[in-house]
Amino acid sequence: MKYTFNEEKDFDIVAIGRACIDLNAVEYNRPMEETMRFSKYVGGSPANIAIGSSKLGLKAGFIGKIPDDQHGRFIESYMRKTGVDTTQMVVDKEGHKAGLAFTEILSPEECSILMYRDDVADLYLEPSEVSEDYIANAKMLLVSGTALAKSPSREAVLKAVQYAKNHQVKVVFELDYRPYTWQSADETAVYYTLVAEQSDIVIGTRDEFDVMENRTGSNEESVNSLFDHSADLVVIKHGVEGSYAYSKSGEVFRAQAYKTKVLKTFGAGDSYASAFIYGLVSGKDIETALKYGSASASIVVSKHSSSEAMPTADEIVQLIKAQS
């Protein structure tokens, strides 16, 4: 079974939300207290997904707000060089800074992230700074959950979703739950549900679906609830147990998790989403798109960065063949 998009649109994907700085520990297997060297990368779930999609050959655009400083210029320049259209990246003029994420790689199973997200530029994207024409020209709008955590970013995303609905643009919601951004479980559930009910495709881990529903639920309950609204495809990831895609037509697809030498645990979700989306847009069936997502996630957790480690389509295909 294949998923269809409006082929008359110029952009394959437009992502909206967070673009920030990742500082990943260069020294492995030691606590952050003893780590002295870090490497700088572009980070943030929607930025990573746009970068990953572009590296796979999709035409990707990005809507977001970056600081008027060296970090902001680095983010814009790096994304543009990877092929992402950055014309809709707004430069903040009020002194807000880029979010920073310091990562600790204590062991392949023990990785932690120290986040600095107070008063960051990406959460100050205004609804008036979102272009209806830009969104109307995309096959899909990719929204991530973190952008819903604060105003005015929250309202900017809701406006973007409405523009997408008005112009038959598929809305893809990557749940991307980050607890440090939210005030309460109830607040998270309200805004996640509001966007999920307007989305065509919803992607997340089982734990993230539980956060959205504010309860411990089952895949069947989650899927049936979303199918009562706009969703026609729901992807639920279960880590090493693999991932499942549920179609509104009643079909269920599964992909295994691919074996790899894990270096770190972060970055898997963004690489999964970009490769899964690539699979759908490039005309692969849903089961193959799931395999692409799983293989891409496996590749990225074996490497040091998230954005820079995003694989090519050939790398993904080679891994699937090697482990089929």
Domain ranges of the chain: 13-19+45-97+120-323
Q: What is the DSSP letter of 240?
A: G
The pTM of this model reads 0.96
In CATH terms, the fold of domain 13-19+45-97+120-323 is UDP-N-acetylmuramoyl-L-alanine:D-glutamate ligase (3.40.1190)
| Burial call 202-225: b when 16+ CB within 10 Å, e when fewer | bbbbbebbbbbbeeeeeeeebbeb
* Residue keyed to tokens 């270096």: 263
Q: Give 175's DSSP letter.
A: -
Instruction: Specify the DSSP class assigned to residue 149.
Output: S
| d(C-alpha 209, C-alpha 279), whole Å | 23
Q: How far apart are CA 268 and CA 276, in angstroms?
A: 12
The rounded distance, in Å, linking the Cα atoms of 237 and 209 is 10
Which tokens belong to 175? 């749940």
Residue 232's pLDDT is 97
pLDDT reported for residue 261: 83
Q: What's the pLDDT score for residue 263?
A: 79
Q: Which residues contact 282 (CB under 8 A, 6 or more apart)?
A: 57, 58
Q: Please give the average pLDDT of every successive group of 10 residues along the chain, which has 324 residues.
A: 92 98 92 94 97 98 98 98 98 98 86 93 98 98 97 98 98 96 96 98 98 96 98 96 96 94 83 98 97 95 83 95 91
